[in-house]
Amino acid sequence: MKITAIRHTRVAVAAGICYGQTDVPLNGTYPDELQMVQSKLNGQVFDAVFCSPLTRCRQLAADLFPRETIQFDERLKELNFGNWEMQHWNDLSDSPEAKAWFNDFVEVRTHGGESFRDQINRTAAFLEDLEAMNYTAVAMVAHGGILRALDCLLNGTAPLDAFKNQVDYGDVIAFNL
């Protein structure tokens, strides 16, 4: 099965703010970015469309696939940063919790939230359910963390190396399941 994973476009959040699972709006550059993503998809046809339920993904999926039934799945949300949501990274970085997380973000959970391993595990559970559906080609509109989790699960990238690969807003990445 081919999975075409699409990262949402830019959001209307100040630089340096940790927003994870907070439901934030898309940036004013959205119309231009939407056209860019549409051109990357180049008219591909999909058996199904899956999407994070957060607005930044919902809007993009609705505009990319206006004739499709979009299936929303909580497991496709960005990393849950817990108490750090909507805080500036500079305000968090000196705390003992943040230092522990920065030293081992794969296994250590954010304060009140998740670790990258948690995100990988919920992505794996989604893939297990998806595989049972016997589709040929699906689209997935999600977040940078989910695309990196897919890279770990489907390409064998080590979790510690997953963030070495740039995943830009509006990126379209193909995976095979």
Dist CA 127 CA 112 (whole Å): 26
**Digitized pLDDT (tens) for each residue of the chain, 177 residues in all:** 999 999 999 999 999 999 999 999 999 999 999 999 999 999 899 999 999 999 999 999 999 999 999 999 999 999 999 999 999 999 998 999 999 999 999 999 999 999 999 999 999 999 999 999 999 999 999 999 999 999 999 999 999 999 999 999 999 999 999
CATH no. for residue 162?
3.40.50.1240
Host domain of residue 172: 2-176
pTM above 0.85, yes or no: yes
Q: Single out the residue of 162, 152, 161, 149 nearest to residue 52, CA to CA.
A: 149
Do residues 76 and 140 lie in contact, with contact meaning Cβ atoms separated by under 8 Å?
yes
Do residues 135 and 154 lie in contact, with contact meaning Cβ atoms separated by under 8 Å?
no
Dist CA 101 CA 77 (whole Å): 19
Give the number of C-alpha atoms closer than 13 A to the C-alpha of residue 66, restricted to the C-beta side.
3
**How many domains in the chain?**
1
